[in-house]
């Protein structure tokens, strides 16, 4: 899966945007829980993007790079610039959450629900 193409399709803002707290609370019961969910998703997105970038840049890695080769590798520079232009992982995660595309569950509530049905 090419995450770059997927995340380039997002209509995420490139700078900070003020969010309506009620929009976040509408997605789950608690504002702090919503922020925690977005934060965890942002970590996942950031890790995925970094892994994909690292795998693409591995193609250019060589043991005997000279300074001239490093500065002249335009393709590597273009790949890096494409990833730099992506919105920040926190912005992408917030857009996913607001659009309802983030799956989350609360194991402590699921466990208490199971206990009450078994009793």
Q: Express each pLDDT in 73-106 by its tens digit.
A: 778 888 888 888 888 899 899 989 998 889 888 7
Residue 36 banded pLDDT, cuts 50, 70, 90: very high
Whether pLDDT at 51 is above 80: yes
CA distance 49 to 3: 7
Residue 73, number of CB atoms within 10 A of its CB:
14
Q: Which of 84, 88, 5, 82 is CA-nearest to residue 42?
A: 88
Residue 71, number of CB atoms within 10 A of its CB:
9
Residue 39 banded pLDDT, cuts 50, 70, 90: very high
CB 24 within 8 A of CB 34: yes
Q: Is the pTM of this model over 0.85?
A: no
CA distance 89 to 14: 11
Per-residue confidence (pLDDT) for residue 82, from 0 to 100: 86
Residue 37, number of CB atoms within 10 A of its CB:
21
64 Cβ neighbours under 8 A, 6+ residues apart: none
Residue 50 banded pLDDT, cuts 50, 70, 90: very high
Residue 64 banded pLDDT, cuts 50, 70, 90: low
């Amino acid at each position: 899966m090419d995450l770059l193409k997927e995340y380039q399709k997002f209509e995420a803002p490139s700078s900070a945007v003020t969010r309506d707290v009620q929009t976040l609370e509408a997605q789950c019961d608690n504002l702090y829980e919503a922020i925690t969910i977005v934060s965890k998703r942002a970590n996942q997105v950031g890790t995925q993007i970094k892994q994909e970038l690292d795998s693409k840049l591995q193609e250019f890695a060589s043991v005997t790079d000279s300074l001239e080769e490093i500065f002249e590798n335009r393709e590597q520079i273009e790949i890096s610039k494409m990833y730099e232009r992506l919105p920040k992982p926190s912005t992408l995660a917030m857009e996913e959450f607001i659009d309802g595309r983030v799956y989350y569950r609360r194991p402590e509530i699921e466990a208490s629900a199971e206990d009450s049905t078994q009793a």
